[in-house]
Amino acid sequence: MKFFNKYFFIGFGCGVIFIFVCELLFALYAIMMVNRQMTSNLEKPELPLEIEADAPQADYGFAVKDLQGNFKLVDTLKGKVIFLNIWATWCPPCRAEMPSIQKVYDKMKNRKDVAFLIMTDEDLPTVQKFMKKNKYTFPVYLYKENSLPDVFRANAVPLTFIIAPDGKIAFKDSGAAKWDADEVFAFFDKLSSQGSVSTTSHSFSTPTSLAPAKVKAN
């Protein structure tokens, strides 16, 4: 009877562990398939033919921190076409559009007239782990929610802005998109060819949380 009880419970325990592992693997597989399907179903963003005359003006008056701990004043990017994307590691649509953002960055990273602000308010270790795991190389910056200008605030991610050299927000979109479409590159070129209308710097106070800032300027 003791023999039966001993091996019965060993077998029962192994069975429970086996079922748990199988369910975990199935869940991971399901998540992978959902992400893959979501990525393949992404559509090109509906970019405007012209910038609206009453398009809102971007607010450059804030700072962000890169994954090496260097602070960047967004004000230093004035006069460039800026691709600003707000995202989170836990957001499936955000993860789905990341490969296309990487392709855009790979093609345009050496251009002096284009800047990338891929931003999240998550903690540094979480973001570093995500970037390393997925082998993304585009620049990611951390920001504090209370330091983000109102014009860039929203209740959903991903949220993307394309800012013209003159500071007008030429495009704003919430939701994932296929950013490596030819139309997107053409839109960047069109905005860049318009040049910068104003390069007057904003003056602002660095948030308290950014006080020990080590400023990195482009």
Residue corresponding to tokens 């602000």: 117
Sequence-separated (6 or more) residues with CB below 8 Å from residue 51: 164, 168, 170, 191
pLDDT band, very low/low/confident/very high, at 154 (cuts 50, 70, 90): confident
> Is there a single domain that holds both residue 31 and residue 134?
no
Per residue in 177-195, pLDDT (tens digit) is 999 999 999 999 999 998 6
Tell me the DSSP string of 81-129: EEEEEE--TT-HHHHHHHHHHHHHHHHHTT-TTEEEEEEE-S-HHHHHH
Number of folded domains that form the chain: 2
> Is there a single domain that holds both residue 112 and residue 179?
yes
Instruction: Report yes or no on 142 lying in a domain.
Output: yes
Sequence-separated (6 or more) residues with CB below 8 Å from residue 126: 89
Q: Quick one: pLDDT at residue 49? A: 86
Sequence-separated (6 or more) residues with CB below 8 Å from residue 35: 92, 95, 96
Is the entire prediction scored with pTM above 0.85? Answer: no
Whole domain around residue 203: which residue ranges? 63-210
Q: Quick one: pLDDT at residue 123? A: 96
Per residue in 91-115, pLDDT (tens digit) is 999 999 999 999 999 999 999 999 9
Distance from C-alpha of 115 to C-alpha of 165, rounded to nearest angstrom: 10
Per residue in 126-141, pLDDT (tens digit) is 999 999 999 999 999 9
Percent of the chain exceeding pLDDT 70 equals 73
Instruction: Report yes or no on 53 lying in a domain.
Output: no
Backbone dihedral angles phi then psi of residue 22, each to the nearest 5 degrees: -65, -45
